[in-house]
Amino acid sequence: MNAVDGLTPVLFADPAARRTGPLRLARRNPIGTFGLLVVVTLALVAVFAPRLSPYDPNAQVGKRLSPPEERHVLGLDQLGRDELSRLIWGARVSLGTSVISVGLSLLAGGGLGLVAGYYGGAADALIMRAMDLMFTLPAFVLAIALAGILGPSLTNVILAVAVVTTPTIARITRGPILAVRETEYVASARAAGAGDRRIMVRYVLPNITAPIIVQTTVSIADAILIETGLSFLGLGIQPPATSWGNMLGTGRNFMELANGLSVLPGAAIMLAVLGFNFAGDGLRDVLDPRLRGV
């Protein structure tokens, strides 16, 4: 499995994959399908949070730490807020921030990787040194430092997570491009008068699409972990937005009095991360024929 093997434009390499119906695909790849279902469900919950949640997530609707009952199926938290509503709105915040920040890092990292890989030389050296520099610190430590500097708020957490996930995307983009650039078919296309733009679209993009799609789902999973981790430490998102990390961080103080407050937000985080990881796993199987059936 050396790098050159992966250079065939993978998306189009396996026509069989495109011919198979969704049901067959699902049967062949139950894990990925399950992940996709979880992701789609959570996305719907996030989008329709205002309609789905029975109460305003910040309204104090009853006695603090009330156990679950008919009107509040998951009970009330330490300020008498409806736990279910908070979890639903939490989906919006945690998914939203992660997706947006990974989107930003796709733009930044993808762009940087593209430039570095395609033009090489000084640009490459400079960009990749900068990326390496960010790799010298554990991502979460860097995120703590950034979030600390920027101050806890929704936008700042998005920024911090985006910065932290950028180097991976840049690396992943650059690698294949570097290799594609040297291949004969790119050389001949160039000889035939194809411009940078055409070469990018026709030869380079198809080769990096698959790894980037997979990395994106995985990065979103990581982003959720970083965001909730920051919020858990109190360095992340702040109300009125509700982060699962925040809920877990404060809820754990009420262990034994209301165990749901420490179990449920964590379970929600796990479900979301799991969904993206499963989906990423499935996508890899589908998109990367080298690993097909592996």
Partner 1 sequence: MRVSHAVVFGPPNSLHPPNVLCNGGERRRKRWQRSTQPILRTYLLRRVLSSVASALALSMLIFLLIRLIPGDAVTMWIGQEGSMTPDVQRTLRKMFGLADPIPVQYVHWVGDLLHGDLGYSFRSRLRVASLIGRSLPVTAELAALAMVLSAAVAIPLGILSAVRRNTPTDLIARLMGLVGLSMPSFWIAVLLILMSATYFKWLPALNFASLLKNPWENLKQMAMPVVALGLPLMAVVMRMTRSAMLEVLSQDYVRTARAKGVTERRTLSHHALRNALIPVVTVMGIQLGRLLGGAVIVEQIFGMPGVGTLLVSAITERDYPMVQGTVLLMGLLFIAVQLFVDLSYGYIDPRIRYA
Partner 2 sequence: MLDARFSLNRALTQGGMIPMGDGSSSEAPIGTPGRGLTRRELLKVTGAASVAGLVGAWPVRAFAAPVVIIKRGGTMNWGEVSDPISFDPHTRNNASSTVLRRMIYQSFTRHNPRTLAVEPALATKWEYTSRTEILWTLRERVTFHNGRPFTAEDAKWSVDRLIDPKTASPFANWYAAIDKTEVVSRSALKMTLKQPDPVLPGKFAAMVVSGFASAGSDPSLMASQPVGTGPYALTEYAPNDHVTLVRYGNYWERGKPYIDTMNVKFIPPEDTRIAALRAGALDFSIVTADGAKRLASSPNLKFIKGVHGVFTVIKMHQRFAPFRDMRVRRAMNLSIDRKEIIEKSLGGSGTIIGPVVYGWEDYGISPEQLPYKVDLDQAKKLMAEAGYSNGFEVTCISLPEGHPANFYPSIATAAEQWKRIGITVRIQQLELGAWLQRNNTLDYDMLIGNRGFRGDPIDVLQPHYHRKGNDNSIGYSNSQVERWIDQASVERDRVKRRDLYLKIQWKVLEDVPWILLWAPIENYAMQKYVVGYDHVAFDSYKDLMATAWLDR
Calculate the CA 267 to chain-centre distance: 18
Residue numbers 60-99 binding partner 1 by CB under 8 A: none
Token pair recorded at residue 75: 């009970």
Residues 194-233 that bind partner 1 (CB under 8 A): 211, 214-215, 218, 221-222, 225-226, 228-229, 232-233
Q: Is residue 253 close enough to count as binding partner 2 by CB under 8 A?
A: yes
C-alpha 294/C-alpha 288 separation (Å) is 10
Determine, following the binding rule CB under 8 A, whether residue 270 of this chain makes contact with partner 1.
yes
Binding mask 165-194 for partner 1 (x = CB under 8 A): x-xx--xx--xx------------------
Q: How far apart are CA 267 and CA 259, in angstroms?
A: 12
Give me 23's structure tokens. Answer: 């049901």
User: With CB under 8 A as the contact rule, which of the stretches 57-65, 67-75, 83-91, 159-167 interacts with partner 1?
Assistant: 159-167
d(CA 148, CA 212): 30
109 binds partner 1, rule: CB under 8 A: no
- The DSSP output letter for 203 is I
DSSP H helical ranges for 66-204: 83-119, 121-135, 139-150, 154-181, 184-191, 196-199
42 membership: H or E segment, kind and range: helix 30-47
Q: Tell me which residues touch partner 1 (CB under 8 A).
A: 1-3, 6, 31, 132-133, 135-141, 143-146, 148-149, 151, 164-165, 167-168, 171-172, 175-176, 211, 214-215, 218, 221-222, 225-226, 228-229, 232-233, 248, 252, 255-256, 259, 262-263, 266, 269-271, 273-274, 277-278, 280-281, 284, 288, 291, 294
